[in-house]
Amino acid sequence: MDLPPGQLVRHVVVAVNDDKSITTCKFTAMVNNDERIAPVGGCQYVDESYGLGYITNEKHLQYLLKKYCIDYVIHGYDLCIFVHEMDA
C-alpha cells in the first residue's frame, strides 16, 4: 500500500483469525490463537495484535474503527469455504 507523501503510519494494529472462526469457516486450525498472534506481534512495525473473528458485520466493524482509531483496513483475499461448502 502506498501512502500519500508526508503521511506516516503511527500505530499498526493487526487482527488475526481466532480459533473459533477458523474452526467454523475453515475447519480445525493447525495452530492455536497464541501461536498465530505471537509471530505477528513480533513484527517490527506491529504495535498490537489480537484474535478476531473471520466474519464481522457493519456494526462490529464500526466499533473496531472507532475503538482503535483505524484509518485503513486491509484484508487478505483467500477463498473461505464454510464447512457447509459455501464461500463467505
Q: What percent of the chain has pLDDT over 70?
A: 76
By CB neighbour count within 10 A (0-12 exposed, 13-18 middle, 19+ buried), where does 72 fall?
A: exposed
pLDDT given for residue 5 in this prediction: 59
Mention every residue, 6+ apart, whose C-beta is less than 8 A from residue 43.
14
52-67 residue pLDDT tens: 877 777 888 888 888 8
14-40 residue pLDDT tens: 888 888 888 887 778 889 889 988 998
Tell me how far apart the alpha carbons of residues 47 and 42 are, in angstroms, rounded to a whole number: 9
pTM of the model: 0.64
pLDDT given for residue 39 in this prediction: 92
Q: Per-domain residue ranges for the chain?
A: 13-67
Q: Which residues of 6-45 are buried (b: 16+ CB within 10 A; e: fewer)?
A: eeeeeeeebbbbbeebbeebbeebeeebeebbeeeeeeee
